[in-house]
Amino acid sequence: MRWAGVPGASLATLSATSIDSASFGLRDVAARLPVTQATLFEAASLSKPVFAYAVLGLVHAGHLDLERPLDSYLPSPYPIDDSRGSQITARQVLTHTSGLPNWRPGDKGPLKLQFTPGSQYLYSGEGYFFLQTVVEHITSTSTEEFMRATLDELGMEASSYIWRASDLANCALPYGQDGKALSHDTATMGQQLIAMGKAVGQPLATWRTAQSLAALPRLHPPLAAVPHNAMPNAAWSLLTTAHDYARFMQGLLRQPKSPMLQPVVQVSDYIWRGLGLSLQKDDGVSGFFHTGSNPGFKSVMFGDLRSGRGVVSFTNSDGGFPFNMHVVDDELGAQPGVFYLELP
């Protein structure tokens, strides 16, 4: 941790039947508060696989068709400045082939496609944000309400896709690679959104995407009405513990035939994309993984299907990725995916 400049880390190793977790260092350096098993970390893009898991539940129930254009579920087209946006499907979003950029350029212009949907690979958080609006319309619930059922089903009771007032008591604070404290924007935004919800008699957990976007310009300081991580945002707003996240990974290890573990799009010689996950594949799919990167937080999860084991590593530092990958290598052995870690 000293080598990587990591103040705090929370780890979990797992098999299909057991989880071992451990915590190290400090969640708050100035106050000398330690990381514990209950400390909440920003999972960042590790939010995406859990959301994909829940979305596939909708598919299994017949409420969502992976091949049907997402616009057809909405009363009006999603605001993309390109007529090809009407072609985007849930399968393309979950495999990052929608043509949408990772994130739009702030408030500097409309959302544009980078290529024809389905023709190329480009990692895209915007695609997940599009899909969450469709899921809200299908289910007539907010993203947090929709995800709550899946989180509880997986035993992830401590986790949430929104900031909750109680989170301030045991959250990890973010730090830069130089060890300096960063602004805890998720808490600042989250506390203000909670207060807004109380003022209008609508708890933040019930807010749908449009309502969250409309509130952003009223924050202090005001923000553009574009995706942010405390909204909620299916692409990066999950707050969780390593032990909780390991419960989700257990579910994947127990279902090797899951649609999430089937290769769909080849990204390199040995890396493919499944629905919501990156996959290692040589003579067969040998494992799954995902990375996460929010300011001051770096996270990695790897599952090895051959050994039936997995590991998740959360850190509260911009220098966390090298540490995370040493944790993975120590637990699972060398992973070729280490050479293909996107910084989402």
Q: Evaluate if pTM is beyond 0.75.
A: yes
Low-confidence ranges of the chain (pLDDT < 70): 107-108, 338-344
Q: What is the pLDDT of residue 264?
A: 96
Q: What is the pLDDT of residue 341?
A: 64
Tracing tokens 């929608």 back to the chain, one arrives at: 98
Query: What confidence tens digit (pLDDT) does each residue in 148-172 have?
Result: 999 999 999 999 999 999 999 999 9
59 neighbors 32 (Cβ within 8 angstroms): no
Query: What confidence tens digit (pLDDT) does each residue in 300-313 have?
Result: 999 999 999 999 99
Radius of gyration of the chain (CA): 19
Backbone angles phi, psi at 210, to 5 degrees: -60, -40
Q: What is the pLDDT of residue 339?
A: 67
**Complete DSSP assignment for 36-49:** -TT-BEE-GGGHHH
